[in-house]
Amino acid sequence: AQKITQTQPGMFVQEKEAVTLDCTYDTSDPSYGLFWYKQPSSGEMIFLIYQGSYDQQNATEGRYSLNFQKARKSANLVISASQLGDSAMYFCAMKHNYGQNFVFGPGTRLSVLP
């Protein structure tokens, strides 16, 4: 069964510094996708970045990058040059390429300090 673990319930980072949000996953299927979503206090879910299990390079989207270590089954999100607007809940998620379910981790609440 798919399972996503985010071991950091809450994180603090100083504005303009980089921060890494941890995500590990459990699957026996070799074909899957990993996703990160941001949920600000307003409640909407915003897609940030995607990494496919067969992708050779780590995904990057602007200030977001994904540190993908397939053998360790980890997909950590790195946010560079943190901004106050980055304060939010961040969810890691996984979906098998030929499966149905889209599973989310418990989330990490990031607070960016001025």
Footprint on this chain of another protein (rule: CB under 8 A)? 33, 35, 37, 43-45, 47, 50, 52, 91, 93, 95, 97, 100-107
Partners of residue 112 on adjacent β-strands: 13
- Nearest 10 degrees: CA dihedral of 46, 29, 67, 47? -10
- Nearest approach, Cβ of 56 to another protein (angstroms)? 16
C-alpha–C-alpha distance, residues 112 and 11, integer Å: 9
Give whichever of 28 and 101 is closer to another protein, judged by the CB atom: 101
Give whichever of 16 and 70 is closer to another protein, judged by the CB atom: 70
Q: Return the structure tokens found at 84.
A: 């106050």
Q: Return the structure tokens found at 60.
A: 């990057």
- Nearest approach, Cβ of 55 to another protein (angstroms)? 10
Give whichever of 50 and 78 is closer to another protein, judged by the CB atom: 50
